[in-house]
Structure 1
Amino acid sequence: MTDHTNNNTSQSSDQKPAHKHNDKDIAEVNEFPTMPEVPSDRPWLSAYERYGIKADIDMPAEDTSLLDVFERNFRRYGNKPAYICMGSSISYKQLDLYSRQIASYLQSIGLQQGDRVGVMMPNILQYPIVALGIIRAGMILVNVNPLYTSRELSHQLCDSGAKALFVVENFAKTYQKAEDKGAVKHVIVCKLGDMLGLLKGTAVNLVARHVKKIIPAYRLPESVSFKHALGEISASHYQRPSLNLSDVALLQYTGGTTGVAKGAMLSHGNLVANMLQINALMESAFDDDVHADDVILTALPLYHVFSFMVCGMYGMYQGYAGLLIPNPRDLDGLIKEMGKYKPAFIPAVNTLFNGLVNKDGFADLDFSNLKASIGGGMSVLPSVAKKWHEITGLPIVEGYGLSETSPVVAFNPMTIAEFTGKIGIPASSTDVVLIDNDENEVALGERGEICVKGPQVMIGYQNRPKETAESFTASGYLKTGDIGIMNEKGFIKIVDRKKDMILVSGFNVYPNEIEEAMSEHPAVKECGAIGVPSEERGEEPKIFVVKKGEVSEQELLDFGKEQLTGYKRPRHVEFVDELPKSNVGKILRKELRKMEGLE
Structure 2
Amino acid sequence: MLSVFDKGPFAPCPTPFNMAAHVLAAGQATPDKIALSILKPTGAERWSYAKLTAAILGTARGLLDQGLTPGQHVLMRLGNTVDFPIAFLGALAAGLVPVPTSAQLTAPEIEKMSKVLDLACVVRDETTPCPELGIPAFDQETLHLWRDLPAADYHFGDPERLGYIVFTSGTSGVPRAVGHAHRAIWARQMMMEGWYGLTPDDRLCHAGAFNWTFTLGTGLMDPWTMGATALVPASNVTPDQLPLLIKRNEATIFAAVPGVYRQILKQPNLSFPKLRHGLSAGEKLPQSILSAWQEATGTPIFEAYGMSECSTFISTEPTTTDLSDGYLGKPQVGRRIAILGDDGPVELGEPGQIAIHKSDPGLMLGYIGAEEETKSRFQGDWFTTGDLGAMESDGRIRFLGRNDDMMNAGGFRVSPVEVENALLQHPAISEVGATDIEVKEDVRLIAAFFVSSEPLSESDLQDWCAEHLARYKQPRIFVQLDALPKNPNGKLLRKALRDIPRNTH
> Is 1:267 aligned with 2:181?
yes
Structure-2 residue corresponding to 1:188? 139
Contact 2:24 2:224 in 1 (8 A): no
Structure-2 residue corresponding to 1:279? 192
Cα gap change, 1:158/1:75 in structure 2, threshold over 3 Å: closer, same or farther? same
Structure-2 residue corresponding to 1:66? 19
Structure-1 residue corresponding to 2:351? 447
Residue 184 of structure 2 aligns to which amino acid in structure 1? Answer: N
Cα gap change, 1:251/1:183 in structure 2, threshold over 3 Å: closer, same or farther? farther
> Is 1:128 aligned with 2:45?
no
3-state secondary structure, aligned to 1:404? coil
Deviations 1:306-357 (A, max 9, x none): 3222222211111222112233871133233223202111111111111111
Task: List aligned pairs for 1:23-422, cutoff 5 A.
Answer: 56-85=9-38, 86=40, 87-171=44-128, 174-175=129-130, 178=131, 181-182=132-133, 184-189=135-140, 225-231=142-148, 234-236=149-151, 238-255=152-169, 259-274=173-188, 276-281=189-194, 291=201, 294-327=202-235, 330-360=238-268, 363-365=269-271, 367-405=272-310, 407-417=311-321, 419-421=323-325, 422=327
Deviations 1:493-550 (A, max 9, x none): 11121135999xxxxxxx9xxxxxxxxxxxxxxxxxx9965569xxxxxxxxxxxxxx
Cα gap change, 1:372/1:531 in structure 2, threshold over 3 Å: closer, same or farther? farther
Contact 2:179 2:368 in 1 (8 A): yes
**How much identity, in percent, do the aligned residues show?**
20
Deviation at 1:118, TM superposition (A): 2.2
CA distance in 2, matches of 1:409, 1:115: 29
Contact 2:294 2:300 in 1 (8 A): yes
Deviations 1:258-286 (A, max 9, x none): 64101111111122112x21124269x57
CA distance in 2, matches of 1:430, 1:565: 26
Residue 108 of structure 1 aligns to which amino acid in structure 2? Answer: D
TM-score normalised to the size of structure 1?
Answer: 0.65
Deviation at 1:378, TM superposition (A): 0.2
Deviation at 1:68, TM superposition (A): 3.5
Q: Which piece of structure 1 moves more, 368-377 or 159-168?
A: 159-168
Deviations 1:275-300 (A, max 9, x none): x21124269x57xx661xx3111212
Contact 1:395 1:418 in 2 (8 A): no
Cα gap change, 1:394/1:261 in structure 2, threshold over 3 Å: closer, same or farther? same
Cα gap change, 1:373/1:154 in structure 2, threshold over 3 Å: closer, same or farther? same
**Structure 2: gaps of 5 or more residues:** 407-415, 418-434, 436-445, 453-481
Cα gap change, 1:473/1:243 in structure 2, threshold over 3 Å: closer, same or farther? same
CA distance in 2, matches of 1:263, 1:532: 32
Residue 27 of structure 2 aligns to which amino acid in structure 1? Answer: F
Q: Which has the higher strand share?
A: 2
Residue 285 of structure 2 aligns to which amino acid in structure 1? Answer: V
Deviation at 1:255, TM superposition (A): 4.0
Contact 1:444 1:487 in 2 (8 A): yes
CA distance in 1, matches of 2:331, 2:294: 24
Contact 2:314 2:328 in 1 (8 A): yes
CA distance in 1, matches of 2:236, 2:350: 39
Contact 1:331 1:359 in 2 (8 A): no
Deviation at 1:128, TM superposition (A): 2.1
Cα gap change, 1:494/1:328 in structure 2, threshold over 3 Å: closer, same or farther? farther
Residue 188 of structure 1 aligns to which amino acid in structure 2? Answer: D
> Is 1:464 aligned with 2:370?
yes
